[in-house]
Amino acid sequence: MGETRRFDPEALRYDAAGLIPCIAQEVGTGEVLMLAWMNAEAVARTLATGRVTYWSRSRGDFWVKGETSGHVQELVELRVDCDRDCLLALVRQNGPACHTNRRVCFYTAVRDGAEVELMAPEA
């Protein structure tokens, strides 16, 4: 406890593609909103700007969450796991986090071998 050291985004453990998974959690409610990926520069930009910035694997470019939709994620605190190969971003999510317009991406539950949709898209 109280032990500190300088945080260096380059000193995290990235996969072969230079990426690390980041879980976004709503700070007020504890909801797990989504998981996306960051490279070292996305981690640095997230900390510098306070806006959660991922690396889009499909577009091959930085992805400032909400830049086009307005559904930004304000960073409250970034946390690192014991193996330094996963991040947890505590955020304030504006609007739905999911591209389907649902509050969270994890809206499908597995119950008795069937998929059950828990949540409708927001209006």
Binding to a copy of itself by residue 110, rule CB under 8 A? yes
Binding to a copy of itself by residue 105, rule CB under 8 A? yes
Binding to a copy of itself by residue 30, rule CB under 8 A? yes
Q: Least distance (Å) from a copy of itself to the CB of residue 123? A: 14
Binding to a copy of itself by residue 59, rule CB under 8 A? no
| Shorter beta-carbon distance to a copy of itself: residue 24 or 72 | 24
Is the separation of the CB atoms in 51 and 58 below 8 Å? no
Q: Are strands 114-117 and 108-111 parallel, antiparallel or unpaired?
A: antiparallel
Binding to a copy of itself by residue 108, rule CB under 8 A? yes
